[in-house]
Structure 1
């Protein structure tokens, strides 16, 4: 079943009573009995959840969605309809599933029947529920960016590692074969000694001035704000009330850093795969960026970032490059991108410029076969499927917390560098700027009580 068909078939108008998941006798499904499945709760039921995470998880036989949660009751109800109707259609039994609806994920985490959670919330609500899920012993699929700040990411990493839960970061380019092939070719010297990487990543436009509006009765706006500053409500600053198009919070610094974190974690993670720097980071960062002078949207527009690594590789990132990753070596280059792929219907992808998924300075490079004794990178077919497999085997997934945190940190220090007219020296092991208290102050943000990772005991 294709994603779009799934959404069309599970219409928004599904009516069902809110209650605990149905208990189905084992003989009904045999090997597919509920007792053999991973019971999953969905935290955040917006655009990415509907277009990507719910479908890409629920379709696996090992997954059993039993609960949904959102601070917007309309979105939570719609997600329940998607889940219930999926199982009704799959089993041919009306009211087979009666997914539980929560308005506070912390109540969901108290449900001992739930084994794992998928977190598809806005960026400022990634680390805290992931930390609390880890402390509750739940396995986690976490949308990128991993954290709003470097400090949050460190706290999340500690919680996940201390509790030994399986956390998969949603950097699904690792499941796209062209990114693995490109990284393997680079790692095995097919373009000689790599010295430069160029990453294409767009910026965001300025936005309109938005008037204060009444808070919709279906939205818990205080909890939506979470640890961020209290501000007046306006619909364009949160998410649309009548559809699931691209939300305005993506372009506000209170809730993220714009495209440098929104798509940046994907590309920095993939580039690190090819550079063999997944567990480290650059030793310096410097940047130029334009920021809007008025309007509600205030994340970076046009920008240029330079990272230098101790292994001699320099990474440049800009909207002036074609969206994707270009590895340059002493004997040629390889370019890789998603091609025409989009994670959601409203992704701002230029289809014409994104059509070529894998290219090289010489076609023979791409035809090269990786030998038995050469470097072979981990191969998976699906990011969500890999997570489910690892929940069962207890092996680390392809995008574990440490790699996710390191990739996200590169995004975050890039954003910090955009605010300084100087080169910043970075210590990737200790995750701190060298001799720069002003820059280090931006590794953490003040958190509005009672929300925030600072108030969670590990």
Structure 2
């Protein structure tokens, strides 16, 4: 039973505070259980899942929202929250047009629009949310969604910092909601080659695994620095969230109301670490899957080459090379000079896997053809059959579908929150090593750098009140 203090944030106060942009988390008076007794609102478990879309820009319209709209037998997208009113309107039209094409019915659903995601979370009829916001908003929104009893599909990376990610994983794990990371390379649609490669590695087809080489480029310098007026109907202060205040310019943020191929915030350390987390989570997640290190992290990291911009607005890393060691003896090398993808090298051969066909036009490299997406030192490795008593990895047909099905059947999903956090934290360790000219030693249990106070300062960031995970009110029943 929670204390009187735990029940003080009732629904009316939550919505009132959300309208001001404040960061609070509990949504129901009393909060008697961590997850509502029915995870489907007013609907019975056999009915459709009501989904709210949080963030309605590039990745939502070309991937997350677009994909989920195709599962009309399992879910309905019924709400959109975005700090931009123009993007709310665009998102509503996108949803209704998509449903009309698939069902032949105009106004197939009643779409509710919200200026702030916390107002959406307070809607008890919404069962689940998709978080397709910029990176710096992932962790806080996910935490508050979990505390509101909503199941979560979250774009990668999970967090700006390792400490923020640890807080997110701990809280979400205690709520019991289904959290799915958008690490769609794990699912066999559309890329079965990643699972196949990892299964072959885990079953010793290349002998003892020694090295994993990840091909991942950096971002270019550039970006215009001229100050511009904030677009109409855009809550810019809320969009900046926990990060420091800087004047608005399109190359810092995005081209509202249009949707650009690669918005400027992806290239600013204010909002993320650059390609190492923005795209690196995909490949390091696959590396961890093949290495059997999904619930741990590196024990050391060393950057041997990195370039940071010397002019222009954008300041994330350019070309780089980072080496990381794991307790199982495997060394991972991440380098923009390698072919984009993941290469596992063992004592008896190697396996390489990459995408054939991209998700968005802004994917960091040209996609390989199907015949090149899965390769090995010997074709016999790829022809090998996995026996019934060998390691069989999780089978997921498609990432969003797996999420929806696990909400219904209450089974474990393919990319749960701790696995998601570990994929991101390894990338953040790599990013930290870019700031030092020596090897950093890391404790993956305590999640701290060993004997390096300066490196440990990178485990967290100051958060601009009232935004940030530090200001989320978490019930004592969760923190115990």
Using the size of structure 1 for normalisation, the TM-score is 0.91
1:46 to 57, 68, 89: 57
User: Quick check: 1:297 aligned with 2:308?
Assistant: no
Q: Aligned with 1:199: secondary structure? A: strand
Q: Aligned with 2:143: secondary structure? A: helix
The question of whether the paired residues in 2 share the 8 Å contact of 1:40 and 1:114 is answered with yes
Structure 1 residues without counterparts, runs of 5 or longer: 1-31
1:219 to 234, 245, 250: 234
Name the CA distance, whole Å, in 1 between partners of 2:259 and 2:394. 38
Aligned position for 1:140 = 152
Q: Aligned with 1:36: secondary structure? A: coil
Per the TM alignment, residue 352 of structure 1 is displaced from its structure 2 partner at its CA by 5.9
Aligned position for 1:177 = 192
Q: Aligned with 2:265: secondary structure? A: helix
C-alpha distance after superposition, 1:81-103 (max 9, x if no partner)? 11122223333332232200111
The question of whether the paired residues in 2 share the 8 Å contact of 1:209 and 1:294 is answered with no
2:366 to 335, 338, 350: 350
Q: Aligned with 2:442: secondary structure? A: strand
Per the TM alignment, residue 72 of structure 1 is displaced from its structure 2 partner at its CA by 1.1
Per the TM alignment, residue 413 of structure 1 is displaced from its structure 2 partner at its CA by 1.0
Aligned position for 2:33 = none
Per the TM alignment, residue 310 of structure 1 is displaced from its structure 2 partner at its CA by 1.4
The question of whether the paired residues in 1 share the 8 Å contact of 2:251 and 2:265 is answered with yes
Per the TM alignment, residue 372 of structure 1 is displaced from its structure 2 partner at its CA by 1.0
Matches of residues 258-269 of structure 1 in structure 2 within 5 Å?
A: 258-269=274-285
The question of whether the paired residues in 2 share the 8 Å contact of 1:281 and 1:428 is answered with yes
The question of whether the paired residues in 2 share the 8 Å contact of 1:228 and 1:255 is answered with yes
Aligned position for 1:37 = 48
Matches of residues 290-329 of structure 1 in structure 2 within 5 Å?
A: 290-329=307-346
Name the CA distance, whole Å, in 1 between partners of 2:459 and 2:251. 28
Count of matched residue positions in the alignment of Structure 1 and Structure 2 = 426
Matches of residues 51-200 of structure 1 in structure 2 within 5 Å?
A: 51-60=62-71, 61-175=73-187, 176-200=191-215
Q: Aligned with 2:333: secondary structure? A: strand
Name the CA distance, whole Å, in 1 between partners of 2:388 and 2:46. 41
Q: CA RMSD in A?
A: 1.6
Name the CA distance, whole Å, in 2 between partners of 1:407 and 1:111. 31
Q: 1:283 to 1:419 in 2, by over 3 A?
A: same
Per the TM alignment, residue 57 of structure 1 is displaced from its structure 2 partner at its CA by 1.0
Aligned position for 2:15 = none
Aligned position for 1:449 = 465
Q: 1:311 to 1:62 in 2, by over 3 A?
A: same
Q: Aligned with 2:457: secondary structure? A: helix
Matches of residues 321-400 of structure 1 in structure 2 within 5 Å?
A: 321-339=338-356, 341-351=357-367, 356-400=372-416
Per the TM alignment, residue 34 of structure 1 is displaced from its structure 2 partner at its CA by 11
The question of whether the paired residues in 2 share the 8 Å contact of 1:51 and 1:345 is answered with no
Q: Aligned with 2:60: secondary structure? A: helix
Name the CA distance, whole Å, in 2 between partners of 1:407 and 1:87. 34
The question of whether the paired residues in 1 share the 8 Å contact of 2:355 and 2:373 is answered with yes
Q: Aligned with 1:237: secondary structure? A: coil
Using the size of structure 2 for normalisation, the TM-score is 0.86
